Chains A and B, each alone.
Chain A
Amino acid sequence: MRIPGWRLAIATLLVAVAGAGCSTGGSDAAGGGSNTKVNATSNAGECGKDTRTVTHELGSTDVKGTPERVVALEFSFVDALASINVKPVGIADENDVKRILPQLRDQLAGYTSVGLRQSPNLQQISALKPDLIIADVRRHKNIYDQLTQIAPTIAFNSNQASYQKNLDSAAAIGQALNRCKAMDDRLAQHRKVMEELKAKIPAGTKDKFMFAVAAEKTFTVHTAAGYTPSVLEALGLTCVVPASGDTTQPEMNLESFVAANPPILFVTKPEGTLFEQWEKSPLAQQVGAIKDKKVFPVDVAVWSRWRGVTAAELIAQDVVTKLYGG
């Protein structure tokens, strides 16, 4: 009686494991495509077609007609939409309208919040009856299947994408929206704005900078691979923190800050933070940016959170105004 019980237990356990294993195997679709590289130019031929195949980071998706009801699950995608005057019906804005870039708040007014970026409310999204959803690869990989059930969903890297990658996603979003022309025009205008701003910077500048987000207990630097530093590098400046490791936003302490020795420092929230304490230390006076009074407080929303053509232009303008008196 007892030994059969033991065997029965093992046997049924194995059956259950096998059963679960089988059913797990099928739901692999979303993750598989994550290595697919986005290449905006490969999509170019799709422009103007009624059904366009948009290649994105989680595969490729057919988008029909001209999407009017778009849900954006990261701020950089909201920027791409706003830049061609498409008002998203839903935004994952952390349920806080203040998270929207102040410069765009009026233009975007009237959208519905779909909650947190990390866990947007799927019922809310569904109730908005969108015809296109734009998701972030890292945050939304796990719910990609559900999103595609609601509407065609394209996914790009938002948080860790460089400036160039961000522009590529904007172009792809233009195709998905069937507004290639508008997006191309906007991107051309953007390039022009950036060129004009760059022209105000002495050619061949050797200026080196660091961009960091200072908080109460931490000092987070953005490496050259991150969005904001790559915008500045596009202007001809050089980021003193090279890309390395698997993160674009590592923590630094005073010593590594001193070792990095940035001649120019852009920093968000410089009051009441760890950084404020550092500034008082005699050692910090050894750092070029502090010695030469080249520490520039910047707006966290523009410089760190938004990531898009609007933000890039504001950042570039900031740089020119602050460094070169433009």
Chain B
Amino acid sequence: MTAQPITAPVAAPAAARRGRREWGIAGAITVTALLASVLTLGAGARGVGWLDGVAAIAGRLDPDTATLVERFLVPRVLLCWLVGIALAVSGGVLQGVIRNPLAAPDIIGITKGAGVAAMAALLLWPSAPVAALPVAAFAGGVAAALLVYLFAYRRGTSPARLALVGIAVSALCEGGVRFLLVRNPLDVNAALSWLTGSMFGRTMTHVVQFAPWVVVLVPLLLYYARRLDTLGLGDDLATGLGEPVERTRRITLLLAVALAAAAVSVAGTVGFVGLIAPHMARRLVGGRHLALLPTAAALGALLLLLADAVGRGVAPPLEIPVGLITALVGGPYFLYLLTKTGK
């Protein structure tokens, strides 16, 4: 069986020293991400230099460039942070709950569910207001995850079955997406540019819409961090320790799903971040969720910032969707991971 316990009980004496080291790493990554947000600000924009981000903060830019930075670049950077944090934290929690290091928002159906609902809104209801798309995507993501949970539930949820049913439900949603696209061939490109996941055309409005989700749900999930550690010990042991396993699983899953669905609804299908950010974090700081989740969050933000900067900077005026880059980078990393966890 592949699902292995991924957290080990932390030995008490070493805990304090380890705690300090964990926070040091998380802090270092956060600082790197902050630096990256400033330094990558000008990537790909004609007339904006690599260091103009700093100049903008210092207020030393001509008004035109300042408007450009403020209107197009700052929202993107903020959204990279928020989406990266949301996906990484959600992925970290899911990996803890499903107790499989390969679990991620993509795998339990959220991404594809959001995709099929968004496509339905986009293609079957072309006159829909612009705001309908994210609402549909969010509803679709949550509905798909709920479906996965219901289907996987047989006297409790086996983590492996959750993953398996998640993949199956994803396949179902993918079938739906194909059906919609084949019926509406002229809109394939509009559809794909959403499905690939991108920061294209995102504004402060998107940031304002999405920020509450992160601000509310991330701390809440951190509050559950200890219980996630307990769940990691296995159902029997956790129950023995007095943890209401199924209920904790249900609450944390619900929160993680909502967080990821909100992220997907605002940014489209940004794959692999929820999978690899928590993974890297686990390698850096170990499996204790209170340290793991913040580290993963900073890594998620960093990943998205870099991916978006590369996407803007590599071939202007073309913009490579951020989801494509995270997939191209995250995919191979994941495959490497898979061979490592083999055996």
Contact flag (A, B; Cβ within 8 A): yes
Provide the residues of chain B in CB contact with A149, threshold 8 Å.
71
Per-residue contact bits, chain A 2-41, to B (CB 8 Å; 1 contact, 0 not): 1001101100110110011001111110111011000000
A2 near B127: Cβ-Cβ < 8 Å: no
A116 near B318: Cβ-Cβ < 8 Å: yes
Provide the residues of chain A in CB contact with B186, threshold 8 Å.
138, 159-160, 247-249
Q: A13-B255, A118-B190 are in contact. Are A247 and B317 (CB under 8 A)?
A: no
Per-residue contact bits, chain A 96-132, to B (CB 8 Å; 1 contact, 0 not): 0000000000000000111110111111101101000
Asked if B50 is at the interface (CB within 8 A of a chain A CB), the reply is no
Partner of B217, one of A12, A30, A119: A12
**How far apart are the CA atoms of A291 and B280 in the complex, in Å?**
66
**How far apart are the CA atoms of A19 and B71 in the complex, in Å?**
23
Q: A2-B247, A16-B216, A139-B190 are in contact. Are A121 and B131 (CB under 8 A)?
A: no
Provide the residues of chain B in CB contact with A32, threshold 8 Å.
129
Q: Which residues from 247 to 279 on chain B have a C-beta closer than 8 Å to any C-beta of chain A? A: 247, 251, 254-255, 258, 262
Provide the residues of chain B in CB contact with A31, threshold 8 Å.
127-132
Asked if B156 is at the interface (CB within 8 A of a chain A CB), the reply is no
Partner of B209, one of A6, A23, A145: A23
A114 near B317: Cβ-Cβ < 8 Å: yes
Per-residue contact bits, chain B 210-231, to A (CB 8 Å; 1 contact, 0 not): 1011001100100110000000
Asked if A189 is at the interface (CB within 8 A of a chain B CB), the reply is no
Asked if A246 is at the interface (CB within 8 A of a chain B CB), the reply is yes
**How far apart are the CA atoms of A141 and B316 in the complex, in Å?**
23
Provide the residues of chain A in CB contact with B45, threshold 8 Å.
123-124, 127
Provide the residues of chain A in CB contact with B315, threshold 8 Å.
95
Closest to A159 in B: B186
**How far apart are the CA atoms of A251 and B131 in the complex, in Å?**
32
User: In whole Å, how far is B82's beta carbon from the nearest beta carbon of chain A?
Assistant: 12
Provide the residues of chain B in CB contact with A321, threshold 8 Å.
none
Give residues in B with beta carbon < 8 Å to A. 44-48, 64, 67-68, 71-73, 126-135, 183-187, 189-190, 193, 198, 200-201, 203, 205, 208-210, 212-213, 216-217, 220, 223-224, 244, 247, 251, 254-255, 258, 262, 315-319, 321
Q: A9-B254, A23-B208, A25-B131 are in contact. Are A247 and B46 (CB under 8 A)?
A: no
Q: A12-B220, A15-B216 are in contact. Are A127 and B258 (CB under 8 A)?
A: no
Provide the residues of chain A in CB contact with B223, threshold 8 Å.
5
Asked if A252 is at the interface (CB within 8 A of a chain B CB), the reply is no
Q: Which residues from 137 to 152 on chain A have a C-beta closer than 8 Å to any C-beta of chain B? A: 138-139, 141-146, 149
A138 near B317: Cβ-Cβ < 8 Å: no
Provide the residues of chain A in CB contact with B126, threshold 8 Å.
138
User: In whole Å, how far is A323's beta carbon from the nearest beta carbon of chain B?
Assistant: 28
User: In whole Å, how far is B218's beta carbon from the nearest beta carbon of chain A?
Assistant: 11
A5 near B251: Cβ-Cβ < 8 Å: yes
Closest to A21 in B: B135
A-B contact pairs, 14 of them (CB 8 A): A2-B247, A8-B220, A13-B258, A16-B217, A24-B209, A30-B129, A35-B127, A119-B319, A121-B316, A121-B317, A143-B200, A146-B71, A160-B186, A246-B184
A127 near B68: Cβ-Cβ < 8 Å: yes
A27 near B185: Cβ-Cβ < 8 Å: no
Q: Is the interface of B mostly helix, strand, loop or mixed?
A: helix
Per-residue contact bits, chain A 229-267, to B (CB 8 Å; 1 contact, 0 not): 000000000000000001111110000000000000000
B201 near A13: Cβ-Cβ < 8 Å: no
Q: A16-B216, A124-B317 are in contact. Are A6 and B251 (CB under 8 A)?
A: yes
Q: A12-B217, A20-B209, A246-B184 are in contact. Are A119 and B198 (CB under 8 A)?
A: yes
B213 near A20: Cβ-Cβ < 8 Å: yes
Closest to A18 in B: B212
Q: A12-B220, A20-B209, A23-B208 are in contact. Are A6 and B247 (CB under 8 A)?
A: yes
Partner of B244, one of A2, A116, A129, A138: A2
**How far apart are the CA atoms of A112 and B126 in the complex, in Å?**
31
User: In whole Å, how far is B61's beta carbon from the nearest beta carbon of chain A?
Assistant: 13
**How far apart are the CA atoms of A249 and B187 in the complex, in Å?**
11
Given contacts A23-B205, A31-B129, 17 further A-B contacts (CB under 8 A): A9-B251, A16-B262, A19-B212, A20-B262, A24-B131, A28-B130, A95-B318, A116-B319, A119-B201, A123-B72, A127-B47, A139-B190, A144-B130, A145-B130, A145-B203, A145-B205, A146-B72
**How far apart are the CA atoms of A206 and B214 in the complex, in Å?**
65
Partner of B46, one of A23, A30, A127, A246: A127
Partner of B220, one of A9, A138, A248, A249: A9
A27 near B316: Cβ-Cβ < 8 Å: no
Partner of B216, one of A12, A24, A34, A138: A12
Provide the residues of chain A in CB contact with B209, threshold 8 Å.
20, 23-24
Provide the residues of chain A in CB contact with B193, threshold 8 Å.
118-119
User: In whole Å, how far is A134's beta carbon from the nearest beta carbon of chain B?
Assistant: 17
B201 near A142: Cβ-Cβ < 8 Å: yes
B187 near A24: Cβ-Cβ < 8 Å: no
B258 near A34: Cβ-Cβ < 8 Å: no
**How far apart are the CA atoms of A30 and B130 in the complex, in Å?**
7
Provide the residues of chain A in CB contact with B247, threshold 8 Å.
2, 6
Provide the residues of chain A in CB contact with B183, threshold 8 Å.
247
Q: A127-B46, A139-B190 are in contact. Are A20 and B212 (CB under 8 A)?
A: yes
Provide the residues of chain B in CB contact with A113, threshold 8 Å.
317
User: In whole Å, how far is B222's beta carbon from the nearest beta carbon of chain A?
Assistant: 13
Partner of A138, one of B72, B130, B135, B190: B190
Provide the residues of chain B in CB contact with A15, threshold 8 Å.
212, 216
Provide the residues of chain A in CB contact with B224, threshold 8 Å.
5
Q: Which residues from 45 to 60 on chain A have a C-beta closer than 8 Å to any C-beta of chain B? A: none
User: In whole Å, how far is B99's beta carbon from the nearest beta carbon of chain A?
Assistant: 21
Closest to A246 in B: B184
A13 near B46: Cβ-Cβ < 8 Å: no
Provide the residues of chain B in CB contact with A127, threshold 8 Å.
45-47, 68
Provide the residues of chain B in CB contact with A16, threshold 8 Å.
212-213, 216-217, 258, 262
A20 near B210: Cβ-Cβ < 8 Å: yes
Provide the residues of chain B in CB contact with A143, threshold 8 Å.
200-201
Partner of A115, one of B185, B213, B317: B317
